Amino acid sequence: MDNTVDRVDGRSVDPPDGEAPPVDAVETTDEVTVEDDTELERTIGLVGGLAIGIGTMIGAGIFVFPGIAAGEAGPAAALSFAIGGFVALLVALPASELATAMPRSGGGYYFISRGLGSVYGAVVGISLWLGLVFASAFYLVGFGEYAGAAMAEIGITLPGGSSVVLGVVFGAILTVFSATGTENAAKLQNLIVGFLLLILSIFLTYGSLNAVGVFGGGTVPETFAAEGQFAILTTAALVFTSYLGFAQIATVAGEIKSPDRNLPLAMVGSVIVVTVFYVATIFVATSALGSDALEGFSETAMVEVGREFFGTGGAVAILVAGLLATFSSANASILSSSRAIYALSKDALLPAKASEINLRYGTPHIALALAGGPIVVLTATGQVELLAEVASFLHLVMYGLICIALIVLRRNPPDWYDPDYRMPGYPVLPVVGAGASFGLIVFMQQWSIIVGTIIMLLAVVWHRYYAREVRLKGIL
C-alpha cells in the first residue's frame, strides 16, 4: 500500500489502492481511509459495559411499556417481549464478533462501513445517531411522566404538560453531565443499574409468587392472546426500542477495557438478563391487574401494580425505580448517540469539528451537543409511541445490515479482520438475524415507517452531497 498521507482539516487520508488497511485506520472501504490519531480513553470495564446495556434496555421500556403493550396484545405481550429479545440475541452474536474485530467508537456504523462500504455506512451512521436521538427522547418523556406521578403521590399537582417540560430539562442536564467525562457517566450508570435491579428483583419475585397463588392473590382471569397473533407481532415491533442497549455497548467499544473479552460478555449477557426481566414483568403486571386496567394507567401502569402489591410504599418504590430507569436509559443513549457522531466525523462524513475532544474532560463535547440538542427538541413533542417506533425502525435496519456485514466479511475476509470472538451457528444465525430484523419492520405503524424512511433517504442525500464536496477539496 502507498503510505503517502495528505492532511486536510487536520485529518489524514491514505489514497485508495484496493488494499484493505489495518483495523486501526479509519476507512470507508470502497473510497477512502481517514485517520485521526486521537482516540478516546478506555475507562469502561465489564460491569460498566453490562450497566450500559442493561441500564438502557431495562430502563424506560420496563416501566413505560407494560400498560401500552398490555393494551395492544393482552397477556400475550409477554410473548412480544420474548420475540424482541430473541431478535436482539440473533443480532448481538454477530455484533459481538464484529466488535472484537473492530473495537472502535461508532458501533454498527463502523462495522457496516467496513463490511459493506461507505454509502451503507453513512446511511446507518446517520440513522444510528438519529435513532438514538428518538430513543433518548422517548426515555425522557417517560422520565417526565414518572417525575410528575411522583410529585402527585406527595400531593403536588403540576399543570398540564409539565411532565414534558421535566423531560426537556433533564435532557439538557444529562447532556452537560456527559460532557464532564465518560467515567463519571459510567459510574453513575453502575450505581443506578445496581439499585434498579435490586428493586425489580424483589418486586418480580413477590409478584410471581403472588400470580401462582402462593400468597393467595392468583391471576386475573383473561384470554392469553385475546387480540390475536398479529397483535403479538405489532407489539413486538413497538417494544423493540427496549432492546437497543446491547448495540449501544458496541457504540462505545472504543472506550471498553479488554474488548476481546468484555464486549461479547456485555452484549450477549445484557440481552439475556433483560429479556428475562421483561417477560417476568409483563406476566406479573397482567396477572395482578389485568390488561384493561393496565391500558387505562398507560405509561405509569407499573406504579399501580406496585400499589396493588405493597400499598403506597410499593407505588413509591416503583416511582423511584421508574425515575432511575428512565434516567439511566436516557443517560446511556445520549452517550452512545454522541459516539456515533464522533465516528462519522472521524470518517469525514461529518465536519471535523464534530470529533473534537475536550482537553479538560476527554469527551467529544461538540458531538454531545449535536446529540443533546435534537433530543431536547423531540422530547418536547411528547409523542411516546412514534418516538419509540422510529427508533426501533432505524435500529432494525442497522441490525439487519450488521448481520449481512458479518457474512460479507466472513466470506472474503480482509487482512485486518481477525476477531477474538467468533459467533456460533454461522451462516444460519446471521441469515435468520437479518431476516428477523427486516421482517419486524413490516409490523410497524405506517407513520413510523414513513418517518424512518425519510431519515434514511436524507442520509443518502447527505452522503452524496458531502462526499462530492470533500472530493472537490481533494479528500476523496
The confidence band for 426, taking pLDDT boundaries of 50, 70 and 90, is very high
Decide if pLDDT at 38 tops 60. Answer: no
Please tell me the least confidently modeled range out of 6-15, 199-208, 313-322, 445-454. 6-15
Contact 121, 28 (CB under 8 A): yes
By percentage, how much of the chain surpasses pLDDT 70? Answer: 82
Mean pLDDT of the chain: 79
Q: pLDDT digits over 99-113, tens only? A: 888 877 667 788 898
Q: Specify the higher pLDDT residue, 411 or 363.
A: 411
Q: What is the pLDDT of residue 18?
A: 34
Decide if pLDDT at 384 tops 70. Answer: yes
Contact 401, 408 (CB under 8 A): no
Decide if pLDDT at 313 tops 80. Answer: yes
Decide if pLDDT at 427 tops 80. Answer: yes
Residue boundaries of the structural domains of the chain? 46-472
Please tell me the least confidently modeled range out of 131-140, 151-160, 364-373, 416-425. 151-160
Q: pLDDT digits over 65-112, tens only? A: 888 898 899 899 999 999 999 999 999 999 989 988 887 766 778 889
Q: Give CA angle at 394 (176, 138), nearest 5°.
A: 45
Decide if pLDDT at 457 tops 50. Answer: yes
Positive or negative: CA dihedral 372, 374, 380, 385: negative
Distance (Å, whole) CA 325 – CA 197: 10
Q: pLDDT digits over 264-298, tens only? A: 899 999 999 999 999 999 999 988 888 888 888 87
Rounded mean pLDDT, 356-369: 75
Q: pLDDT digits over 152-190, tens only? A: 887 777 676 677 888 888 888 877 777 665 556 666 667
Decide if pLDDT at 7 tops 60. Answer: no
Please tell me the least confidently modeled range out of 29-38, 90-99, 318-327. 29-38
Which CATH architecture fits 46-472? Up-down Bundle (1.20)
Q: What is the pLDDT of residue 76?
A: 93
Q: pLDDT digits over 215-224, tens only? A: 766 676 687 8
Please tell me the least confidently modeled range out of 286-290, 344-348, 416-420. 344-348
Q: Specify the higher pLDDT residue, 469 or 321.
A: 321
